[in-house]
Amino acid sequence: MSENDIKFMKRAIKLSQEGMNSNAGGPFGAVVVKDGEIIAEGFNRVTSTNDPTAHAEVVAIRKACEKLGTFQLDDCIVYTSCEPCPMCLGAIYWARPKAVFYACDKVDAAKIDFDDQFIYEELDKPIGNRQVKFVQMLQAEGQEVFNEWAAKVDRTEY
């Protein structure tokens, strides 16, 4: 852990407080750093935007990708005030930063009623046994588009 790591984590924690105090959403903040500079930052905006995906990490990732003009965060580091939830974890893996640093963990979050354990448990269940009903339909039609993608010569790989 370097002086810069501490500085960037303190900024993520400060953002979590700023977002909370402005009633934008829960107490979560994140920054994306590249080459020792913050290129994007965000705090939770779920309740203020009525967007359940507006978690701090997702907000910061979206801003960073827009600024960099790419859908991947190569050579970037994410600093977040809390261990990422399952959704943010997925977004982080899709964005492909080289590292993630976090302050609070999921146990700390659960203590203030941000408990994602039920999602982890749901993922382990067969799709037909989950709390939210999932129904597969029109698979053949969907596969036609997938086949077109597989044959598309000018696609952008990711």
Contact between residue 95 and residue 58 where contact means Cβ atoms under 8 Å apart: no
Rg of the chain in Å (alpha carbons): 18
Q: Which two tokens stand for residue 84?
A: 């990422």
Query: What is the layout of strands, in order, in the sheet containing 99-104?
Result: 37-43, 29-34, 76-82, 99-104
Active-site residue list? 57
Strands 99-104 and 29-34, how do they pair? unpaired
Q: What is the dihedral of CA 130, 132, 61, 74, to 10 degrees?
A: 40
